[in-house]
Amino acid sequence: MIHPPNTRIALAAPLLCLPLTSLATESDLSASLARCAQVEDSTQRLSCFDALSAAKTSSSAALTLAPAPANTSASAAPPTAPMTAEAAPRAQSAGMQLDEGDKRQALGVRLYRPNYLLPVTYNDNPNRNLPAEETIDIPFLGDALDKVEMKFQISFEVPVWTDILDQPLDLYFAYTQLAFFQAYNREYSSPFRETNYEPEVGFNWQPDVSAFGWQLRSARAMLNHQSNGRSEPLSRSWNRLIGQLEANRGDLTLGLRLWSPLETSPSDNPDIYDYLGYGELHAAYDLKKHHFGVMFRNPAHPTVQLDWTYPLGDTIRFYVQYFNGYGESLLDYNHSVNRIGVGFLVNEWP
């Protein structure tokens, strides 16, 4: 026989042995469930569980409807909602973003000029016409020089003194290394054909200046030394005072580098300014995920570099580079190079 709900509570009340108000604690509820489970008669056992459920519901409703105690302290703080699993990663990400965004941290290492690796490059016009006195480096003469080689660049800067005079002005040190590696020239034990070392020290100003829709991102003045670290007659080096500006307008970025020689006629490459000129212009444009770049210098001996990158993840980009002209390396400053390479890039400039 099925009893109405109120009748079930009446039947099961002697079995609960606890007032309804005592079901507020988890231990009391567990004890009542255990007592209901011990009832042998199935009808009474079901009535016991029904009564227990109704009593629990009534107790919860009473707690909900009960008025909140008066706030006796004006300084009592409101309860803080627990952080959800979704909110926690957001807070952590925000903290990481603040740390990563502090790009001007004193003595913190950060990327400077493009860092890339081109495992395969092809140059259809390698420099095979070095002077006869340079036969001390026989692997790099004549047909011994492979047209296919590896090219990579490593570049970083370290702000030494930040916020000079409470201004967004830093004193920094930077280092760039560009290498050309005959990695596939097994006949001559895969030598490095040329490596250029470029330390510099200077000032970097990052003002909040804008005009005509353009935002000035950086203005630099630096002392720069570039050398291939070789002895005569393969030694190549020069010293310059360089000024650099970088500005952007939306997806378009422009960079300008102008230099003045600290020595008008370097002893190991006296005509280097005839080929490399006194500056270079950089431009870049972002089209969705695609990044396009171009560098141009010296109309007297035209030199151009074209870049295209596409993201492969959060930090690595697929990179295609094309170079045509003079000064790709110091050893080839007066030799025209026509090279294309594919590989990976970490950062762009501009």
At 8-29, the pLDDT tens digits run 444 444 444 444 444 545 566 6
Q: Are residues 53 and 119 in the same domain?
A: no
Which residues form the domain of 48? 5-61
Distance CA 127, CA 194 (A): 12
Q: Which of 338, 278, 274 is CA-nearest to residue 305?
A: 338
CATH of the domain at 229: 2.40.230.10
Q: Are residues 309 and 235 in the same domain?
A: yes
pLDDT at 65 over 50: no
Q: Examine residue 223 and state whether it is found in any structural domain, yes or no.
A: yes
Q: Are residues 27 and 170 in the same domain?
A: no
Query: Quick one: average pLDDT of 331-348?
Result: 93
Q: Are residues 179 and 302 in the same domain?
A: yes
What tokens appear for 294 in the block? 């171009």
pLDDT tens per residue across span 253-278: 999 999 999 988 888 888 999 999 99
Q: Examine residue 66 and state whether it is found in any structural domain, yes or no.
A: no
Q: Are residues 186 and 131 in the same domain?
A: yes
Q: Are residues 255 and 331 in the same domain?
A: yes
Handedness of CA 45, 46, 49, 51 (dihedral sign): negative
Q: Are residues 36 and 111 in the same domain?
A: no
**What is residue 143's predicted lDDT score, i.e. its pLDDT?**
73
Q: How many structural domains compose the chain? A: 2
Q: Examine residue 294 and state whether it is found in any structural domain, yes or no.
A: yes
Q: Are residues 163 and 47 in the same domain?
A: no
Residue positions annotated with a catalytic role: 225, 227
Q: Are residues 54 and 191 in the same domain?
A: no
pLDDT tens per residue across span 307-329: 999 999 989 999 999 999 999 99
**What is residue 137's predicted lDDT score, i.e. its pLDDT?**
61
**What is residue 322's predicted lDDT score, i.e. its pLDDT?**
98
Query: Quick one: average pLDDT of 137-162?
Result: 85
pLDDT at 242 over 80: yes
Q: Are residues 190 and 302 in the same domain?
A: yes
Strand partners, 280: 257
pLDDT at 122 over 90: yes
Q: Examine residue 147 and state whether it is found in any structural domain, yes or no.
A: yes
Q: Examine residue 12 and state whether it is found in any structural domain, yes or no.
A: yes
Q: Where are the beta strands (DSSP E) in 139-289?
A: 148-161, 169-181, 192-205, 209-211, 214-227, 237-249, 252-261, 279-287
Strand partners, 237: 227
Q: Which of 109, 226, 201, 196 is CA-nearest to residue 157?
A: 109
Q: Examine residue 221 and state whether it is found in any structural domain, yes or no.
A: yes
Element (H, E) at 334: none
Q: Are residues 192 and 251 in the same domain?
A: yes
pLDDT at 302 over 60: yes
Q: Which of 268, 255, 276, 266 is CA-nearest to residue 329?
A: 276
Q: Examine residue 77 and state whether it is found in any structural domain, yes or no.
A: no
Q: Are residues 51 and 128 in the same domain?
A: no
